[in-house]
Amino acid sequence: MPSAITFPCFSSATPPCHRTTCLLPPDLQPLAFSGIWSIATRNKQDNFRLLLHARGNNISQTRTKVYKGLERQLETLQTDEKEVSQVCIANVKEERIKSIKSMLSSMEDGEISISAYDTAWVALVKDINGSGVPQFPSSLQWIVENQLPDGSWGDPFSFFAHDRILNTLACVVALKVWNIYPALFEKGLAFIRENMSKLRSEDDEHMPIGFEIAFPSLIEMARQHDLQISNDDPIINEIYAKRNLKLTKISKEMMHLMPTTLLHSLEGTAGLDWKKLLKLQCQDGSFLFSPSSTAFALMHTKNENCLNYLKKAVEKFNGGVPNVYPVDLFEHIWVVDRLERLGISRYFQSEIKECLNYVYRYWTEDGIGWARNSRVQDIDDTAMGFRLLRLHGHEVSPYAFRHFKKGGEFFCFVGQSTQAITGIYNLYRASQVLFPREKLLEEAKTFASKFLREKQESNQLLDKWIICKNLPGEVGYALDIPWYANLPRVEARFYIEQYGGENDVWIGKTLYRMPYVNNNEYLELAKTDFNNCQALHQLEWNSIHKWYMKSNLGEFGVGRRELLQAYFVAAASIFEPERASERLAWARTAVLVEAIRMYMEIDITSLDVKKGFLKDFNTIINNNDSSSNDNSNNNINNINGMRKAESRTKGKELMETLLKTLNCMAMETLVARSVDVQHDLHSAWNKWLLTWCRDEDGTERGVGDGEGELLVHTIILCAGRCISEDQSNPHYHRLFLLTNSICRHLRLQLFNSMGHHGKKDCRVTDPIEPVMQELVQLVLGNSDGIDPDIKRPFLTVAKSFYYAAHCTPDIINHHITKVLFENVA
106, pLDDT greater than 70: yes
What's residue 29's pLDDT?
A: 37
- Within this chain, do residues 258 and 381 fall inside the same structural domain, yes or no? no
What's residue 8's pLDDT?
A: 43
Nearest to 584 by CA among 746, 766, 719: 719
Q: Which of these three, 515, 550, 566, is where a domain ends?
A: 515
- Within this chain, do residues 247 and 380 fall inside the same structural domain, yes or no? no
On whether residue 95 sits in a domain, the answer given is no
- Within this chain, do residues 585 and 476 fall inside the same structural domain, yes or no? no
% of the chain residues with pLDDT over 70:
81
What's residue 726's pLDDT?
A: 59
On whether residue 770 sits in a domain, the answer given is yes
pLDDT bucket at 127, cuts 50 / 70 / 90? very high
Q: What's the domain count of the chain?
A: 3
Mean pLDDT of 490-502: 98
What's residue 290's pLDDT?
A: 97
CA angle 53, 56, 59 (to 5 degrees): 145
What's residue 90's pLDDT?
A: 53
- Within this chain, do residues 32 and 161 fall inside the same structural domain, yes or no? no
pLDDT bucket at 762, cuts 50 / 70 / 90? low
Q: Which of these three, 515, 539, 568, is where a domain ends?
A: 515
Nearest to 397 by CA among 386, 408, 385, 410: 386
What's residue 244's pLDDT?
A: 84
On whether residue 6 sits in a domain, the answer given is no
> Domain span at residue 244?
116-316
Q: Is the peptide bond before 134 cis (omega within 30 degrees of 0)?
A: no
CB 216 within 8 A of CB 240: yes
CB 321 within 8 A of CB 296: no
46, pLDDT greater than 80: no
**Spatial distance between the Cα atoms of 540 and 51, rounded to a whole number of angstroms:** 27
Most confident option among 46-55, 363-372, 411-420: 363-372
- Within this chain, do residues 571 and 644 fall inside the same structural domain, yes or no? yes
On whether residue 101 sits in a domain, the answer given is no
- Within this chain, do residues 504 and 595 fall inside the same structural domain, yes or no? no
CB 526 within 8 A of CB 344: yes
Tens-place pLDDT, residues 338-393: 999 999 999 999 999 999 999 999 999 999 999 999 999 999 999 999 999 999 99
Q: In a 3-state reduction of DSSP, which class is residue 512?
A: strand
448, pLDDT greater than 60: yes
CATH number at residue 21: 1.10.600.10
Nearest to 316 by CA among 326, 304, 328, 303: 326
**Spatial distance between the Cα atoms of 668 and 721, rounded to a whole number of angstroms:** 14
Give the per-residue SS3 of 733-769. HHHHHHHHHHHHHHHHHHHHHECHHHCECCCCCCCHH
Length of the chain: 825
Q: Which of these three, 492, 515, 538, is where a domain ends?
A: 515
Mean pLDDT of 510-532: 97
The count of other CB atoms within 10 Å of the CB of residue 414 is 19
**Mean pLDDT of all residues belonging to the chain:** 85
- Within this chain, do residues 37 and 131 fall inside the same structural domain, yes or no? no
274, pLDDT greater than 60: yes
On whether residue 738 sits in a domain, the answer given is yes
CATH number at residue 177: 1.50.10.160
**Spatial distance between the Cα atoms of 17 and 539, rounded to a whole number of angstroms:** 8
Tens-place pLDDT, residues 583-621: 999 999 999 999 999 888 775 556 777 777 888 888 888
Nearest to 417 by CA among 190, 667, 250: 250
- Within this chain, do residues 645 and 767 fall inside the same structural domain, yes or no? yes
On whether residue 309 sits in a domain, the answer given is yes
Q: Residue-wise over 733-768: b if at least 16 C-beta within 10 A, else e? A: eebbebbbbbbbbbbebbeeeeeeeeebebebeeeb
Q: Output the pTM of the full model.
A: 0.88
- Within this chain, do residues 301 and 440 fall inside the same structural domain, yes or no? no
β-bridge mates for residue 405, sequence order: 410
What's residue 694's pLDDT?
A: 64
% of the chain residues with pLDDT over 90:
66
Mean pLDDT of 115-120: 99
CB 113 within 8 A of CB 284: no
- Within this chain, do residues 411 and 487 fall inside the same structural domain, yes or no? yes
- Within this chain, do residues 509 and 539 fall inside the same structural domain, yes or no? no
- Within this chain, do residues 366 and 309 fall inside the same structural domain, yes or no? no
pLDDT bucket at 453, cuts 50 / 70 / 90? very high
The count of other CB atoms within 10 Å of the CB of residue 223 is 12
DSSP string, 115-164: BHHHHHHHHHPBPTTS-SSBS-HHHHHHHHH---TTS--S-TT---HHHH
Tens-place pLDDT, residues 617-668: 888 887 766 543 344 344 434 444 444 334 347 888 999 999 999 999 999 9
Of 411-415, 432-436, 722-726, 818-822, give the lowest mean pLDDT range: 722-726
Sign of CA dihedral 298, 303, 305, 311: positive
Mean pLDDT of 63-85: 48
Tens-place pLDDT, residues 677-730: 999 999 999 999 988 876 555 444 444 489 999 999 999 999 998 776 556 788
What's residue 86's pLDDT?
A: 55
On whether residue 97 sits in a domain, the answer given is no
Of 289-298, 339-348, 568-577, 628-637, give the lowest mean pLDDT range: 628-637
On whether residue 712 sits in a domain, the answer given is yes
CATH number at residue 434: 1.50.10.130
14, pLDDT greater than 60: no
